[in-house]
Amino acid sequence: MVLPALLTSLEQSLNYYFNDKELLIEAVTHRSYYHECLDKSQPYNERVEFLGDSVLGLAISETLYIEKIFCKKNDKLIHTIFSESEMSRLKSHLVSKKILSQLALDMNLGQYLKLGKGEEMTGGREKLSLLANTLEAIFGAVFLDGGYDTAKKVIIGLYQPVLTQILNSHTSFDFKTELQEISQKLFSSLPDYKLALEAGNDHNKDFVYDVYVGGKRMGSGRGKNKKTAQSEAARIALEALACPKTPETPETPKTIDDEPDAQYNTAEHNNNE
């Protein structure tokens, strides 16, 4: 099968050329296109996205396990490996919809999508959640077409700038512990984490947590589980506390949860795990 020139351009961005071109077409086909198309022989990408999510998780986990970093401890740089807790936090961050959607935007993935008319009219090509899901589907398609080693090469190739930044950041990545120590020193109290939003299906949850320090909201973070969301909130709070001019108005990053097709369950309770 000969791909349209546009999808050939996508292969160039991936630095991978499919043997089975139908797999790539499936990966970029949204369910809205399938439901509006009379020809039902072309599947849409939700099944291969499910597979791609697992392939991505394994590739990132393996990379974090193998990599060594320079970490600052006691004002000295030492060559070390990631601990299990650090790997867990970093993996959750790296496979998040926030990172996936940014990678998708960087490669202009929206232009390659096959969307139904309704999704097209509501700005589907720019929806962060849709872009992130499509990129996961592409990872799954590469895995089916070329195997795990090939899929990992494609994934790490796209992730390299993000990974390089992390490996060279010289931090311990334990944002919650660091925030706890600062909060106790400044306010004689522990940070208070509150669940702000909970979105997604049971198998694909997204959590958003706000963190309060000294009674004031200092950060908001999101993740696939509570620990990751709280860690991200702690990271943003630390940045806010380091900038005395704006301690009460920390940066709240744009998230996929702001989009009209997202569904939420809100909750008000504390979690200091």
The gap from C-alpha 97 to its chain's centroid, in whole angstroms, comes to 3
Q: DSSP letter string over 199-255?
A: ES-TTS-EEEEEEEETTEEEEEEEESSHHHHHHHHHHHHHHHHT-TTSTTS------
User: Is 90 exceeded by the pLDDT of residue 11?
Assistant: yes
pLDDT digit string, tens, across residues 25-79: 999 999 998 888 767 667 899 999 999 999 999 999 999 998 876 555 556 655 5
pLDDT at res. 171: 52
List all residues 6 or more positions away from 113 whose beta carbon is below 8 Å from its beta carbon: 28, 30, 124, 125, 130, 134
Q: How far lies 231's CA from each of 6, 111, 117, 180, 220, in Å?
A: 39, 34, 39, 11, 10
Whole-prediction pTM value? 0.64
| pLDDT at 77 (0 to 100) | 57
Among residues 136, 145, 206, 257, which one is catalytic? 136
Cα distance between residue 110 and residue 127, in whole Å: 9
- Work out the pLDDT band at 250, boundaries 50, 70, 90: very low
Is 53 among the residues known to form the active site?
yes
pLDDT at 232: 86
> Catalytic: 251?
no
First-to-last alpha carbon distance for the chain, in angstroms, is: 53
Catalytic residue among 49, 53, 86, 257: 53
* pLDDT mean over 148-173: 84
**pLDDT of 268 strictly over 50:** no
Domains in the chain (CATH in brackets) are: 5-167 (1.10.1520.10), 175-265 (3.30.160.20)
What pLDDT sits at residue 76? Answer: 61
pLDDT tens sequence across 121-151: 998 899 998 999 999 999 999 999 999 999 9
